[in-house]
């Protein structure tokens, strides 16, 4: 149990939208959202959706009533009909765990389209006029709009664009390496070496790595309590971009949140 005080959650009966629920972190976040009574409506939208018999969909009696799923064409989100799919739910909290890599996307052009354009357009489409709507985005440790590395630069630029949309409360997670993620295919030798090195160094510091299940829990807690209700264990930082405030949570803070019994 953490030394942080147990906080009183916002009133129950809230709704949550998750984009990217079939990914390594998103699937654990989906399970968290369905399991908690705080969120009484959960929307999962994406190019594909999670099967109801998946281990990431808790087999509870109310799951069919609680979970709303839909396929969305991210290429057409700027069109009124497609964008309406994300807006009409009037979601209290919007979680985005979408992302890709250059290798998975096939080209830098497709990487930027999926990692930035799709994410920003989805967040814009889901934005309502609610003065309390919240956005929780999964970025990456080391993200920077001026980074020489394409992946980290994309994350940094995406963060800026999301903040510019103007959600009343924007929370950005910047985790380290994701441990426990399902990886398709056999990792190459350099990737295997990097994993072993990270695992070893993580014995001495909490800043490098986090289990995907722990990150999913941390994101759920942040979305549930919001910036104003985050416990000290989140080690949240208040940041600004072009006059708009947002909250950043690094790897250590995500680990701290995951240890909370909330």
Given 155, 167, 217, 238, which residue is catalytic? Answer: 155
Q: Indicate if 167 belongs to the active site.
A: no
Using alpha carbons, select from 126, 130, 164, 92 the residue that is nearest to residue 20. Answer: 126
Using alpha carbons, select from 234, 223, 226 the residue that is nearest to residue 259. Answer: 234
Location of structure tokens 């309590």: 225
Given 87, 151, 244, 259, which residue is catalytic? Answer: 151
Catalytic residues: 151, 155
């Amino acid at each position: 149990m953490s030394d942080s005080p147990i906080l009183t959650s916002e009133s129950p009966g809230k709704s949550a939208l998750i984009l990217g629920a079939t990914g390594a972190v998103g699937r654990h976040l989906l399970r968290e959202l369905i399991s908690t009574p705080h969120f009484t409506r959960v929307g999962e939208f994406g190019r594909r959706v999670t099967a109801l018999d998946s281990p990431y969909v808790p087999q509870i009696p109310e799951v069919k009533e609680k979970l709303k799923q839909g396929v969305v064409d991210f290429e057409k989100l700027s069109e009124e009909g497609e964008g309406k799919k994300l807006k009409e739910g009037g979601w209290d909290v919007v979680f985005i765990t979408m992302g890709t890599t250059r290798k998975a996307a096939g080209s830098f052009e497709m990487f930027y389209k999926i990692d930035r354009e799709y994410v920003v357009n989805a967040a814009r489409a889901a934005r309502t006029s609610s003065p309390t709507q919240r956005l929780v985005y999964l970025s990456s440790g080391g993200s920077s709009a001026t980074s020489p590395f394409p992946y980290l630069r994309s994350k940094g630029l995406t963060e800026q664009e999301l903040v510019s949309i103007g959600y009343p409360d924007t929370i950005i997670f910047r985790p380290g390496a994701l441990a426990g993620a399902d990886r398709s295919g056999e990792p190459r030798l350099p990737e295997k070496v990097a994993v072993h090195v990270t695992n070893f160094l993580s014995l001495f510091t909490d800043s490098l790595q986090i289990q995907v299940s722990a990150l999913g829990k941390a994101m759920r807690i942040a979305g549930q309590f919001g910036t104003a209700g985050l416990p000290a264990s989140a080690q949240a930082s208040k940041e600004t971009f072009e006059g708009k405030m947002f909250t950043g949570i690094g790897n250590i803070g995500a680990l701290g949140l995951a240890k909370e019994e909330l």
